[in-house]
Structure 1
Amino acid sequence: MLSYSTFSDSELISMLRLSNRAAYTEIYKRYTAVLYSHAYSKLQDREEARDAIQELFTTLWLKRENISIETNLSGYLYCAVRNRVLNTISHKRVASNYFVSIQEDFNRFESITDHRVRENELAFLIEKEIASLPPKMREVFELSRKSNLSRKEIATQLNLSEKTVKNQINNALKVLKLKFDSILTLVIF
């Protein structure tokens, strides 16, 4: 029986080009361990290192007829595995950046959504507290804050003195401030 372990790398490559499976197997046996060790030292992941070696030897077999080795076989295989390792690292980096980007988008969306929910809750609470003011005070306050009327315009429209309008607005603000201090504490925390 012919022992392929005695053949040189260049002889094995010549036989590989002719689709000699035994030559391919000898190349695989000769270089797998050292290439795996190199891939693993760079990737620190057994599966990824195995995948890099598997891809390398699969490509070697698939392209065996057209393989062009400018240097020696070990240098060719080392460069090929190094390129696969660099591709794996590059893909991990791209995937990591992609996932970080997705997480940032999710956090931003979640923050905007949370902000809008809180804003809507606060608007509801404000409207509820304004509605609970005494009727005349509420009317004066709403004309002041929602309709943007001046004290004089409110006084004329409601047939009140400007001083009464001023007092009603100030009293409404005091009542709302007291209620909102406790509400804001609950909403914020």
Structure 2
Amino acid sequence: MPETTLWKAFQDGDTTAFESIFHTHWDKLMHYTCSLIADEALAKDVLQNFFIELWEKRSSLPIPRQTAAFLVFLLKLRILNALRREDIRNRHEHNFAALLHEHVSSTADQLYLKDIYAQLHQHMNLLPPRVRQVFQLSRLEHKSIPEISAMLGASEQTIRNQLNTANKRLKVQLKSSFLSMLM
């Protein structure tokens, strides 16, 4: 089937045409994505989300002259967005860690900070053991997601998910504390 005919069928909602496009281009696009994103799990997530979005927006896409080149062009935009989000997230984590390590000058501030840490640890102890461990390694020991992944033998996406779970639960538990604004 010619590319334009296949693409038109895909745009009309033909799942077989979509599967053909997916299987034809997955390996090349995965290789391309991995060449730009070092984290293979993140690269795979980006590519899977790309194909989901491609399916969802199929009817609004133009018919490309060359499907492969068109897919790479669209994927580049998704990769740049993913890298930008990851960079922003890493900078926020670094700034939070730096803030916690700043010198506290007054005795009242030290007591307040000690109380906040006590609250945080109390609520952390309510987390499931693995989620608590991931949170401690990330937020208190300032380990990166790849480091934690290697230490615990879990994928980086699993570590991100567990960290997200910890953050959500602690936000709910600490909603009256200023710590919830920092998570």
Range into which the TM-score falls when normalised by the shorter chain: 0.5 to 0.7
- TM-score normalized by the length of structure 1: 0.53
Distance (Å, rounded) in 2 between the aligned partners of 1:116 and 1:59: 52
1:98 to 71, 92, 97: 92
TM-superposition CA deviations, 1:6-28 (whole Å, max 9, x none): x2221111111111111100000
Residue number in structure 2 paired with 1:87: 81
What is the aligned counterpart of 2:25 among 12, 26, 31? Answer: 31
Unaligned stretches of 5+ in structure 2?
Answer: 111-183
Deviations 1:94-143 (A, max 9, x none): 011111111111111xx11xx435xx9xxxxxxxxxxxxxxxxxxxxxxx
C-alpha separation between the residues in 2 aligned to 1:95 and 1:38? 23
**2:2 aligned residue:** 8
Task: For CA contacts below 8 A with separation 6 or more, give which structure has more relative contact order.
Answer: 2
Distance 1:36 1:54 in 2: 10
Give the percent of matched residue pairs that are identical in Structure 1 and Structure 2.
18
**AA in 1 matched with 2:106:** R
Per the normalisation by structure 2, the TM-score is 0.55
CA-CA distance at 1:70 after TM superposition = 4.9
Bigger share in helix? 1
Which of 21, 36, 43 is equivalent to 2:37? 43
Structure-to-structure mapping, 1:137-152, within 5 angstroms: none
1:106-145 residue pairs with structure 2 within 5 A?
A: 106-108=100-102, 111-112=103-104, 115-117=105-107
Residues 69 and 76 in structure 1, CA contact (< 8 A), matched pair in contact too: no
The aligned length equals 108
**Partners of 2:8 and 2:63 in 1: CA distance:** 11
Q: Which amino acid aligns with 1:47?
A: A
Residue type of the alignment partner of 1:59: E
